[in-house]
C-alpha cells in the first residue's frame, strides 16, 4: 500500500482547488493489478467539482478495469478525511465490502477501514433485483 500512498501524494499536488485550497489525491489499485490516480477538481459552480476518489475510479473504468482492490486517499489536513457519501457509494459499486481504504495526511497519520465499514448496508446492484 505504500506505493499507492506515494502515488496519491504525488497526484494531490496537481489538484485544482482554487476555492477551498484543500487538495486531495487518490490512488486506486484494481484487482487486475493496475494503478490509477485522481485528484479533486473544483469548479466555480461548486457542485460541479470532482472528488479525487471519483477521478481515480473513472480512470480505472476508462482503462477497462472494473473492480477496486484497494484505495489510498491523501489530504493535507490535521484530521484524517474519509470519502464523502457519494464516493463511498462509488466505491461500493466497484469493490467488495472487504476492500481496503487507507486515508492519510501529509504528517504521516493514517487510518485503515474497509468499504463495508465506511458504508454498511450499501445500495449495490444486488438490491436492484432481477433485471
Q: Can you say how many angstroms the Cα of residue 10 is from the centroid of all Cα atoms in its chain?
A: 14
Contacts of 64 (CB under 8 A, 6+ apart): none
Tell me the backbone φ, ψ of residue 111, rounded to 5 degrees: -145, 135
2-125: which CATH architecture? 3-Layer(aba) Sandwich (3.40)
Give pLDDT, residue 131: 64
Q: Which residues are catalytic?
A: 53
Q: What is the pLDDT along the chain (131 residues), one digit of tens a residue?
A: 689 999 999 999 999 999 999 999 999 999 999 999 999 999 999 889 999 999 999 999 999 999 999 999 999 999 999 999 999 999 999 999 999 999 999 999 999 999 999 999 888 777 787 76
Q: Domain boundaries in the chain?
A: 2-125
pTM of the model: 0.93
Amino acid at each position: 500500500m505504500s506505493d499507492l500512498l506515494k502515488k496519491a501524494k504525488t497526484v494531490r499536488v496537481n489538484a485544482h482547488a482554487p476555492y477551498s485550497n484543500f487538495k486531495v489525491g487518490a490512488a486506486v489499485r484494481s484487482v487486475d493489478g493496475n494503478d490509477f490516480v485522481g485528484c479533486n477538481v473544483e469548479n466555480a459552480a461548486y457542485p460541479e467539482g470532482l472528488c479525487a476518489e471519483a477521478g481515480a475510479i473513472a480512470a480505472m473504468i476508462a482503462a477497462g478495469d472494473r473492480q477496486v482492490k484497494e484505495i489510498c486517499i491523501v489530504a493535507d489536513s490535521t484530521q484524517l478525511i474519509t470519502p464523502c457519501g457519494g464516493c463511498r457509494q462509488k466505491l461500493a459499486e466497484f469493490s467488495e465490502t472487504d476492500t481496503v481504504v487507507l486515508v492519510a495526511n501529509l504528517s504521516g497519520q493514517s487510518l485503515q477501514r474497509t468499504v463495508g465499514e465506511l458504508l454498511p448496508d450499501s445500495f449495490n446492484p444486488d438490491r436492484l433485483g432481477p433485471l
